[in-house]
Amino acid sequence: MTTPLQVLEGMGGKDQMADYIGQTWHKYNMERNPIVANWKELRNYIFATDTTTTSNRTLPWKNSTTIPKLCQIRDNLHSNYISALFPNDEWMRWEAYTASDNAETKRKAIEAYMSNKARTGHFRTEMSKLLLDYIDYGNCFGTVHYEHSFVEDTRGKQTTSYMGPRIMRISPLDIVFNTLAASFKDSFKIVRSLKTVGELASLAQTNPSMVALARALQNREIIKNAGRQFGWEDLNKAEGMMMDGFGNYETYLQSEYVEVLTFYGDIYVNGELRTGREVMVIDRMWVVEDKAFPSWLGQAPIFHCGWRIRPDNLWAMGPLENLVGMQYRLDHLENAKADAMDLAIMPPLVIQGEVEQFTWGPNAEIHIDENGAVTELARNVQWVIQADNSIDRLEMRMEQYAGAPREAMGIRTAGEKTKFEVQELQNAAGRIFQEKITHFEVELLEPVLNAMLEVAKRNMDVEDVARVMDDDIGATTFMEITKDDITASGKLRPIGARHFAAKSQLVQNITGLANTQLWQQISPHVNTKNLTKMVEDMLNLTRFDLFAPNSAIFEGAEQQRIATMAQDDNQLMLEQEMPQ
């Protein structure tokens, strides 16, 4: 009689490379359990509706209110981060490395194509998810791929729904790497994903080169059927592993999901070093794809950004992680205060002697014997006011520690200030915020954009159409773009966050200068036409065509001419209506 172990051995056993990748995932995933536990605690506080789901549930309070301060800071940071990254439609520009690649037609084609794909490929939505990872976990991971999807109607006709590069978020819980590497780029990466059997079967059918995937799915069915005839304990011993999130191997095989581990980097197996490989493994048993990095950038198309960098550790710290203790303190004070108020309103009663049963409330009648008594245990609630003050101070400090000044919410700090002083304080208080969003822009957004352009140049085989705004006529036009149009030497740079702060500072300085005596002295030498161009650029008003040289003078003359004509017409009408 054949056993499941013999079935597995008859199919060649587990691939050694697959076994190595599975063990590596398990090792590094287990090592980060403490930080994952911290993430879970933080997540519980962010989405808590009361303290029963948080670590505050152990406190002996009757009230279980939670103050959603961490959630509010999270939403505040996210809204300000996303607004700084994408302040307007012109948040990205092309910087060429050669004169020929800096031609206006080349620049417009690249910027129009990428803007179009960012708009139609839900780029901003995916970036919003990455920003939430940046805040919640302190680490965010993104990758890019080329997608050519179709929609088929009832007559079988296929229409392209989307064609182009697309960014994808990778959950920090689904990736491991060497935390001691010099940089994320230098480390291997293993990404875990769950796919249905149907998805993998469809992938094998549409990709004739993935013969190994179809064979692995067949082998999977053989093991699954063999397990129905023999004890699952034998198969569990043969495998000697536990699938993450599925309990034992029996439960895993019976589910519709298949675990996929994708390895990126250099791998050394069987005495052979293989560099720059992308290896796909299913069930931690079979290698279904093994190829070199397809990217022309010479690295795995996975990018990482951390909020607070740790020395000698690639796992960064988030802005909310070390505020959990303060959130615990907030809830502690709030519920202690609420319980104290309850005791003050409805204090415990001391009943002495024989007292008839009564209901405690207004106008209640209490019948007692000669030596009986009912006495309230009075409580001093003076410290409740101090608890309110402590809560206010804690909330303010939490905002500051997270790099989100209260002015970002429109709350002004105490003290009389001029408008210029308020702006100066806001700029100074927002330096942590500005540094963190600029770091995200440089470390993640910029390489992701250039990876999207690279994957588009590598895979684009037909003409595409992009919607552009013609600056000369102020109308929307459509540009046909080919692979040659977007092939150039240079790079895309997101400029939203960096120009957001620079423009704000420049407008503030010019406004402050205009309100001083110095401006009156230098105003005769100011070129007002160039000043108008600066204001138009700083406030992003170009597309409205608001400014033209001396346009107010010409409009004034036109208004005067129309007013004179109207007066002449009225006078003529009056003369005609007068009796002869």
Measured on CA atoms in the order 378, 379, 382, 385, is the torsion positive or negative?
negative
Cβ pair 349, 375 in contact under 8 A: yes
Helix %, strand %, coil % for the chain, to 5? 50, 20, 30
Distance CA(135)–CA(139), nearest Å, equals 8
Q: Closest Cα to residue 482, out of 59, 113, 162, 44?
A: 113
Beta bridge partners of 291: 278
Amino acid 378: pLDDT: 66
**Residue 518 in tokens:** 């110095």
Distance CA(259)–CA(221), nearest Å, equals 15
Amino acid 444: pLDDT: 93
Q: What are the distances in angstroms from CA 199 to CA 220, 259, 332?
A: 15, 12, 49
Q: How many residues does the chain have?
A: 580
Q: Name residue, tokens 């620049």.
A: 107
What's the pTM value of the predicted model, to 2 decimals? Answer: 0.78
- All residues at 6 or more sequence positions from 567 whose CB lies less than 8 Å from its CB, including other chains: none
Distance CA(33)–CA(95), nearest Å, equals 43
How far is the first Cα of the chain from the last one, in angstroms, to the nearest whole number?
A: 129
Q: Closest Cα to residue 353, out of 370, 377, 381, 372?
A: 372
The DSSP-derived string for 385-413 is HHHHHHHHHHHHHHHHHTT--GGGGTPPP
Amino acid 568: pLDDT: 83
Position 129, amino acid: K
pLDDT in tens, 22-35: 899 999 999 999 99
Q: In what order do the strands lie in the sheet with 139-152?
A: 158-170, 139-152, 302-306
Amino acid 226: pLDDT: 61
**Residue 177 in tokens:** 């790497």
Residue 129, helix vs strand vs coil: helix
The DSSP-derived string for 53-104 is GSGGGGS--S------HHHHHHHHHHHHHHHHH-SSS--EEEEESSSGGG-H
The DSSP-derived string for 303-363 is EEEESEEETTEEEEE-TTGGGHHHHHHHHHHHHHHHHHHHHHHS--EEEES-B-----STT
Q: What are the distances in angstroms from CA 152 to CA 121, 155, 157, 411, 533?
A: 19, 8, 5, 53, 50
The DSSP-derived string for 483-507 is TGGG--SEEEEE-HHHHHHHHHHHH
Low-confidence residues of the chain: pLDDT under 70: 1-14, 61, 208-209, 222-254, 378-383, 405-429, 467-477, 497-505, 538-544, 578-580
Amino acid 240: pLDDT: 44
Q: What are the distances in angstroms from CA 456 to CA 94, 144, 530?
A: 15, 10, 39
Output phi, psi for 241, to 5 deg.
-150, 165
